[in-house]
Amino acid sequence: MKVSKEDLIKLYGQMWLIRLFEQRASDLFAKGVMPGFIHLGIGQEAFMAGTNYNIKAGDSVGSSHREHGLLLGLGITPNELMAELYGKETGCNKGKGGSMHACKAKVGAIGCNGILGAAQTIINGYGFAHKVRNDGNIAVTVFGDGAANRGDVHEGMNLASVMNLPVVFIIVDNGYGISMSSKESSLVDDLSARAAGYGMPGLTADGNDILAVIEATREAFERARQGGGPSVVEFKTYRHHGHFEGDPTPYRTKEEVEMWMKKDPIARFEKVLLERNILNEEQMKDIYEEQLAIVDAAQKFAEESPYPEGPEGYEDVFYFYEGGDK
């Protein structure tokens, strides 16, 4: 697929935005400034930016617990996402969604479900709505190698298939489900092979090569848009950090980490951009600085924003008080 020079440059900026945003979140979390619990997708930027590239206005995209990058690409701004991570009133969910439940339905970011696998059945409702409305939009659900082993995922795939829904199941095999290697939790090399069991196409692509991601999602998304039904796309990638921030990762070797660092998706894309004379090193540095300034501004915005207070603090949430539930 031909991607214009302008788009390649935008994608490069987008990858840096995701990485810098998450590195900042990691630092703030380590300092104890950021509350809650975060899972970072540093190292997985190519699949996030590449998938977003083929998303159109009106599509419904369900993310998982590691996809701040997808949310940024869909249209949750860095300011409102950072504020959400801080639990502030100016966050996209007034600080009550946090990292794992940040969403913004009007830009198609339909959110995450804390129960692995559950979102892959729910996505069919979105797919069905697009089909009934005949709006040419699709529903996309992104989930991990660990989630892929849940029974609900199989039900979801089967239903999408028999109802010929415009749903794309994106499996992100990043090597682990917490500390369980994906090589041990499933004995098929490619999790996309599951698609055959439901009579739909399945494809595995290099999730650290943004151009391969764009190609794979384009094919699957176009099929779904044109009434060709659901499919599975699997991306092989690696998370540079642990499952959660603070995870000491005793389950992986230094050699394994080093091997994947050599496949860093940003460095790989830089090589392509240099080889094709699209950007030189100085221009790449400028783009990096631009994205860094956006992240600095997002942090400042989040820190200066208020927490939800008074009655507002108790709206949109279930809470318990002594003497009964309310």
Task: List contacts with Mg ion (CB under 5 A).
Answer: 144-145, 174, 177
Interaction between residue 48 and ligand TPP (CB under 6 A): no
The H or E element spanning position 41 is none
Interaction between residue 116 and ligand TPP (CB under 6 A): yes
Rounded CA-CA distance 52/61 in Å is 9
Interaction between residue 147 and ligand TPP (CB under 6 A): yes
Q: How far is the CB of 115 from ligand TPP (least distance, A)?
A: 5
In the beta sheet, which residues pair with residue 201? none
Q: How far is the CB of 186 from ligand TPP (least distance, A)?
A: 11
CB 79 within 8 Å of CB 301: yes
Q: How far is the CB of 264 from Mg ion (least distance, A)?
A: 18
Interaction between residue 47 and ligand TPP (CB under 6 A): no
Interaction between residue 161 and ligand TPP (CB under 6 A): no
Tell which one of 2, 57, 114, 321 touches ligand TPP (CB under 6 A): 114
The H or E element spanning position 136 is none
- Tokens 């930016």, located at residue: 49
Which positions from 247 through 306 interact with ligand TPP, judged by CB under 6 A? none
Q: How far is the CB of 72 from ligand TPP (least distance, A)?
A: 17
Rounded CA-CA distance 232/228 in Å is 13
- H helix runs in the chain, sequence order: 5-30, 45-53, 68-74, 78-86, 119-133, 151-162, 182-185, 210-225, 254-261, 265-275, 281-304
Count of residues touching ligand TPP (by CB under 6 A): 17
Q: How far is the CB of 145 from Mg ion (least distance, A)?
A: 4
Residue 202 interacting partner from Mg ion, ligand TPP, none (CB closer than 5 to 8 Å by kind): none
Between 180 and 292, CB nearer to Mg ion: 180
Interaction between residue 53 and ligand TPP (CB under 6 A): no
Between 52 and 305, CB nearer to ligand TPP: 52
CB 153 within 8 Å of CB 64: no
Interaction between residue 95 and ligand TPP (CB under 6 A): no
List Cβ<8 Å contacts ≥24 apart for 248-256.
249/179, 250/179, 251/176, 251/179, 251/181, 252/175, 252/176, 256/175
Interaction between residue 243 and ligand TPP (CB under 6 A): yes
Residue 115 interacting partner from Mg ion, ligand TPP, none (CB closer than 5 to 8 Å by kind): ligand TPP
Question: Contact region for ligand TPP (CB under 6 A) — 108-116, 122-130, 203-211, 261-269?
Answer: 108-116
Sign of CA dihedral 22, 26, 27, 29: positive
Rounded CA-CA distance 68/21 in Å is 9
Interaction between residue 179 and ligand TPP (CB under 6 A): no
Rounded CA-CA distance 182/225 in Å is 31
Q: How far is the CB of 158 from ligand TPP (least distance, A)?
A: 19
DSSP single-letter state for residue 323: T
Residues near ligand TPP (CB under 6 A) are 39, 65-66, 114-117, 143-147, 174, 176-178, 243
